[in-house]
Amino acid sequence: MSSDNLACPSTSDLRTQPVAALDKEGIGPAMTSIPMIACSTSLSEHHSGGSGTNKNKQMVEQLQRYGVISSKKVVEVMETIDRALFVPDGTPAYVDSPMAVGYNATISAPHMHATCLQLLEENLQPGMHALDVGSGTGYLTACFATMVGPQGRAIGVEHIPELVASSIKNIEKSAAALLLKGGSLSVHAGDGREGWPEHAPYDAIHVGAAAPEIPQPLIDQLKPGGRMVIPVGKIFQDLQVVDKNLDGSVSIRSETAVRYVPLTSRDAQLKGY
């Protein structure tokens, strides 16, 4: 991989670009500059069908090489769900950076997707229930659905109806299409701060936007033995791992410093926060 790859641009509006994770000391990027696939290549591959799959595989291999992914299951699911199907046309798909998807939202960087999948892996076993709050492009919802399988349940909740519609189209093009058709995967328009009580309790909850504090309904909808991964904070944010113990008590730890768009109201988001 040439160092040119490091020069791939990401969009410049920081408020809509939840930039990737900082290292644990918060003093600099740990995984923000993993050289991935050169932008020009990504762009052409995005439009060239089949060979995009190879580029997706290379992206996953790179994440393994850099120690971001150690889990075989996460490798499998990230190879199965092609990221290019979830980014807007003309957006480089395989660069390790968040990308703007409209409506002041982004698709998270591949290393953040990988990190969250890995943190939730034990709670994404076949047959389990998963909730993806702020599901955006639907990428992670599709990964969750693939991991929990047709006997499980993966629910995405997103408050921008246009993103709900486009995420469903993205999923229909992906390897998770049959799960959507079969009903084990669904995406809903709604305020994710309320969770999605209909299919609670959940073994796994992922929140893709930073909450000022952990919403109580999400804690309530977590199954005993369940795990939630949620960025918490305003300017300084931590990716928190919330485990509900079998006695119903909750243990919380910080995994790493991160920067995500806020978990907020639709109005605030559309006004630019």
Under the binding rule (CB under 6 A), the answer on residue 158 touching ligand SAH is yes
Rounded distance, CA 227 to CA 135, Å?
17
Of the candidate residues 32, 42, 108, 115, the single one contacting ligand SAH (CB under 6 A): 108
C-beta of 38 vs 116, nearer to ligand SAH: 116
Number of amino acids touching ligand SAH (CB under 6 A): 24
In DSSP notation, 171-203 reads HHHSTTHHHHHHTSEEEEES-GGG--GGG-SEE
Choose, from 42, 97, 108, 167, the residue flagged as catalytic.
108
Q: Tell me whether residue 76 or residue 191 sits nearer to ligand SAH (CB atom).
A: 191
CA–CA gap between residue 161 and residue 144 (Å, rounded)? 21
Residue 15 phi, psi (nearest 5): -70, -25
- As a dihedral over the C-alpha atoms of residue 171, residue 155, residue 206, residue 263, rounded to 10 degrees, the angle is 90
Contact by Cβ (8 Å): 150, 183? no
Of the pair 62, 269, the CB lying nearest ligand SAH is at: 269
- The answer to whether residue 264 forms part of the interface with ligand SAH (CB under 6 A) is yes
- 99-102 and 105-107: which strand pairing? antiparallel
Q: Does 87 participate in binding ligand SAH (rule CB under 6 A)?
A: no
Residue 212 neighbours by CB under 8 Å, 6+ apart: 232, 233, 234, 262, 263
Site membership for ligand SAH, residue 261 (CB under 6 A): yes
Looking at residues 114 to 143 of the shown chain, list those that interact with ligand SAH (rule: CB under 6 A): 134-137, 139-140
215 binds ligand SAH (CB under 6 A): no
Q: Which of 16, 42, 106, 186 binds ligand SAH (CB under 6 A)?
A: 106
| Known catalytic membership, residue 40 | no
Closest approach of ligand SAH to the CB of residue 4, in Å = 26
**Binding site residues, ligand SAH, CB under 6 A:** 105-108, 134-137, 139-140, 157-160, 163, 191-193, 208-209, 261, 263-264, 269
Q: Would you name the residues annotated as active-site residues? A: 108
